[in-house]
Structure 1
Amino acid sequence: MTSLEKEKVIVLIGPTAVGKTNTSIALAKKFNGEIISGDSMQIYKRMDIGTAKVTSEEMEGVPHHLIDIKNPEEPFSVAEFQQLVRKKISDIHSRGKTPLIVGGTGLYIQAVLYDYQFTETPADEHYRNELEMKCEKNGSLWLHKELVKIDPVAAMNIHHNNTRRVIRALEVYHCTGKTMTEYQQTQSHDLQYNAVLIGLTMDREKLYSRINLRVDLMIDQGLIEEVKGLYDAGLRDVQSVQAIGYKELYGYFDGTISMERAIENLKQNSRRYAKRQLTWFRNKMDVAWFDVTDKSRHSKNIEDISEFIAGKLQLKSNK
């Protein structure tokens, strides 16, 4: 199938706090589009502030998909995301609309666009339980260092607090002799869609300043109360509360750190995550980058991005 015969997809990526939401709404209006969230945490209900979930007002009437589809105690995998998004792409096309995937979770978006096959890798429950007990005894940093020894690339992309993913990566190696990175390298890099990938970037210091400000705004909007609700509901060793913005405040509720330290950790982890996002996108995906440092040029940036998309996908844009 040639690229012209494949379904057309616009993908908008970039680090946290760079301004993807506003840009995506403008592009959706330009290209008669509907937005599919490419964020691995916005799928969860009751996690609105910490995930910077788009509000109904911000949507400005543009349909959004894959938001609030899971309860916080439920797991969610890349394979499930791939399946759901591909169905949404076909559905949106069937109604004569243009799908826009918008988000910052690189592996999830990559799995949709390329021919990633998710076969069941062998599992060893006894080994997994053993790792869980060792982690409880020695801490998540010790566990993460075990992964660094065998797969430093995967370790760089998995936060040490995300013990579920760290253990899974160790389990895959234990069962197969192949690291998670080696497994991913065997995946096909053939695009499944006629896709254009747009990346938003900005001056690093300005981005970090925006991240710090965003965290302060989240606190003002009620982030502490939002996380306390999950904490009080007994949600602990589940995927959702490993997200940045949630795990840091759990330390405060546990009484191990002060609120000031928890907020500072949240800012620091968000800045580090933004750096990891940019590294991933630049190393793994063929992206056309647009610098959006100067927010007074927002309209001109939208115009430039729209022209680029229209040329690549042969799409007509609304003026």
Structure 2
Amino acid sequence: MENKIPILILTGPTAVGKTDLSIKLAKILNAEIISADSMQIYRYMDIGSAKVSPQEMNGVVHHMIDIIDPDQDFSVSEFKDRAEAIIEDIHSRDKLAIITGGTGLYLNSILFDMDFGQSESDPKIRKELENILEEKGIDYLHSILEEISPKTAERIHKNNTKRVIRAIEVYRSGGELGDFSKDLRLNEKYQAHTIVLNRDRVHLYERINYRVDLMFDNGLLDEVQELHKKGYTKDMTSMKGIGYKEVLDYFDGLVTLEDAKNSIKQSSRRYAKRQITWFKKYPDALWIDLDEISEINDQISMIKDFLKNK
């Protein structure tokens, strides 16, 4: 136990209010933040990803933001490798790493000790599957595995997302499906303290709708147009993200602007619902209802007590 590196994971559905609390916590706990958001890794994609701004950072060091261009591939295994190196570095400087964001696969790669199998991996196939998971959910992805290999699908529980992805990846790469039936087990490197923020569903959906309207007010159309001018196209994983693909459809004359806005809102609400389902599997997590405990000082006190008693 004493050799484990303490980390704090602060997550929750999109638009719940993770950013403000994570920065205030980092100030109090002498911490640096590692972003676990699969859209904030991309440069030039600020508005549609609700990327934390330098002003919002308020002097707190943030990692894993603006690290690749929108035409580059980036897998969960790459996130894991980079994030674990950053955690080691932060710990070596006697500081705490706070991993914050809502991309479940990224969080799982830190929380759980799982490999991706021994066969050669294909980053493009893996990224495509990760994108399917984000957009359509694990039930859909597991159904793909059932079509490929019913026996393998029986051995791998659908919640074991990494192994579902890896099994499909191996098959599509021309490899043999091995035994992907190992259970999820916690990563022994870390003493993880997991906090999940949530809100009343009606209020959360209102916040999501408001955020989408704000994105358009802040220049989402111009941002997507600039990305298009730089040569980034809708077949790229980055441009398939919620908020970007809908605006590209609008530019292509496939939908009206109002339809694009409504589609972004609907997709974001569905994504939030899937995120909440995902986070319910996290063991020993502290759930905080930000509507019930609305004062940030009370939220911080609750988290401090949780850290002391765990």
Matched, 1:196 2:230: no
- Corresponding residue for 2:222? 225
Q: Which string of whole-angstrom CA distances, capped at 9 and with x for unpartnered residues, describes residues 139-160 of structure 1?
A: x9xx9897285369869x8xxx
Question: Is 1:147 aligned to residue 144 of structure 2?
Answer: yes
Q: Please give the alpha-carbon distance, in whole angstroms, between the structure 1 residues aligned to 2:240 and 2:158.
A: 17
Displacement of 1:12 in angstroms is 0.3
Corresponding residue number in structure 1 for 2:276: 278
Shift of the 171–93 alpha-carbon distance from structure 1 to 2, 3 Å rule, reads: closer
- TM-superposition CA deviations, 1:56-103 (whole Å, max 9, x none): 111111111111010111000000000000000010111111110001
> 1:253 is matched by which residue type in structure 2?
F
Query: Could you tell me the TM-score, scaled by structure 2's length?
Result: 0.82
Map of 1:36 onto structure 2: 34
Question: Which residue is 2:212 aligned to?
Answer: 215
**Match status 1:246 vs 2:244:** yes
CA contact (8 A) 1:212 1:267 kept: yes
Aligned to 1:103: 101
- C-alpha separation between the residues in 1 aligned to 2:291 and 2:5? 32
Q: Is the 8 A contact 1:113 1:192 kept in 2?
A: no
Give the whole-Å Cα distance in 1 for the aligned partners of 2:295 and 2:141: 43
Query: SS in structure 2 opposite 1:9?
Result: strand
Contact 1:147/1:169, CA 8 A, preserved across alignment:
no
Q: Does residue 206 in structure 1 map to residue 203 in structure 2?
A: yes
**Greater mean deviation of Cα atoms: 283-292 or 77-86:** 283-292
Shift of 1:172: 3.4
Distance 1:154 1:76 in 2: 23
- Structure 2 counterparts to residues 18-33 of structure 1, below 5 A: 18-33=16-31
Displacement, 1:122?
5.6
RMSD: 3.1
Partner residue in 2 for 1:261:
259
CA contact (8 A) 1:4 1:194 kept: no
Equivalents in 2 of 1:308, 1:295: separation in Å?
15
Match of 2:299 in 1: 301
**Contact 1:106 1:277 survives alignment (8 Å):** yes
- Which is further off, 187-196 or 22-31? 187-196
Q: Which moved more, 1:146-155 or 1:46-55?
A: 146-155
2:102 counterpart of 1:115? no
Please report the TM-score for the alignment, with normalisation by the length of structure 1: 0.80
Change (3 A) 1:250 1:283: same
Classify 1:219/1:57 alpha carbon distance in 2 versus 1 (closer, same or farther; 3 Å). Answer: same
1:7 to 5, 8, 14: 5
Residue identity matched to 2:110: V
Q: Report the CA distance shift for 1:153/1:267 in structure 2 as closer, same or farther (over 3 A).
A: farther
Equivalent pair of 1:117/1:187 in contact (CA under 8 Å): no
Q: CA deviation at 1:189?
A: 3.5
Q: Counterpart of 1:97 in structure 2: which amino acid?
A: K
- In the aligned structure 1, how far is the partner of 2:158 from the partner of 2:237? 18
Map of 2:150 onto structure 1: none
Structure 2 CA distance for partners of 1:101 and 1:95, relative to 1, 3 Å:
same
CA deviations over 1:281-311 (Å, ceiling 9, x no partner): 1025442101101474222112111221233
- Give the aligned length: 285
Q: Secondary structure at the match of 2:37?
A: coil
User: Structure 2 vs 1, CA of residues 149 and 213 (structure 1 numbering), >3 Å: closer, same or farther?
Assistant: same
Question: 2: CA distance between counterparts of 1:173 and 1:77?
Answer: 18
